[in-house]
Structure formats: C-alpha cells, structure tokens
Amino acid sequence: MEDQELQQWIEQISMESFGRPFVHQARFNRRLRSTGGRYFMKSHDIEISWSQWETYGRDEIEKIIKHELCHYHLHILKRGYQHRDQDFKTLLAQVGGTRYCQSLPRPRTKQAYKYRLECVNCKTEYYRKRKMDVRKFACGNCRGKLKSYTLDLTAPS
C-alpha cells in the first residue's frame, strides 16, 4: 500500500465513521516501532506505522486509523482529544477504534560479549558487550586497575 492509498482510505474511514472529512496529510512512517500511529497537532497530519501494516494487516490498521482520527476530529472541534479525556474515550468506543495497538514481535538475539576486563591485582574477570575506558574504572572487589582484552568472536566455542 502506498501513501496515496492510505490517504484515500483514511478519508473514506473519516467520512463513514465520523461523518466529517479528513483534509490533511496521511502517510506511513517506517521508523515507528513502539506506537501504531501519530497525530501531529500543529500540522494535523497523521502517520501510521508501516511495521504494524506489514505484521497485522488491514483490520488492525483500521483500528489504529480510527484512534488517530479521534485525536484529529476532537482536536479540530476543540474538545478533549487526549487519551485521558472522556470525550476521547467515548468517541473511540463509538467508532470501534482501539486504545492500544498490538506489540510487534522482536527478534531476541543474545549479543555476544566483545570485551573481557581483568583486574591486575585479584584477577577477577568482567565481560562486557561495549568498550569502556578502563582508566576511569576500578575493580569492584579490590579497587585494583583493570586491563581490557578484545575477545575473538570468530573462534568456535
């Protein structure tokens, strides 16, 4: 689906569900991950998560669009458009929108340790995923100096 198709679809939903036109811009945003959509109060534009579209399809996006259109129409009418406002909650229930979007599945890959820190005094080892400046830190056991080693990630374990 392209942005122009999304624009037409939102205009259609606006007329069918709210009886009012949507006269601003609508577009997909491929960077949205933790939210289904956004309504911009200054420009009155709406952005919809492309990831939600790819993962859950038309039905879920329609609920997200109705949610964002509730913000849009209530804001235009100078009524309570925030999630906590009763006007918003009532309108959202009337049109069949959703308060929350579904969570996107995240690939949970465990990142390998890249660095090993070793205390010069007590030989305590610490494993790190990020590089750190060993001059600024000391051993947690004996307050000794730390020495940093880069681990070979290509070697079989």
DSSP per-residue codes, 76-92 = HTTS--STTSHHHHHHH
Can you tell me the distance from the alpha carbon of 18 to that of 79, in angstroms, rounded to the nearest whole number? 15
- Per-residue pLDDT of 25-58, as tens digits, reads 999 999 998 899 999 999 999 999 999 999 999 9
Can you tell me the distance from the alpha carbon of 133 to that of 141, in angstroms, rounded to the nearest whole number? 18
% of the chain residues with pLDDT over 90: 86
**Structural domain boundaries in the chain:** 3-95, 115-150
13 in Cβ contact with 70 (< 8 Å): no
Q: Is 68 an active-site residue?
A: yes
Mean pLDDT over the full length of the chain: 93
pTM, 2 dp: 0.69
CATH fold of 3-95:
Zincin-like (3.30.2010)
Q: Are strands 37-39 and 46-49 parallel, antiparallel or unpaired?
A: antiparallel
Q: Which is higher by pLDDT, 64 or 154?
A: 64
Model confidence at 156, pLDDT cuts 50, 70, 90, reads low
Q: Which one from 2, 5, 11, 68 is the annotated catalytic residue?
A: 68
Q: What is the dihedral of CA 35, 40, 45, 48, to 10 degrees?
A: 0
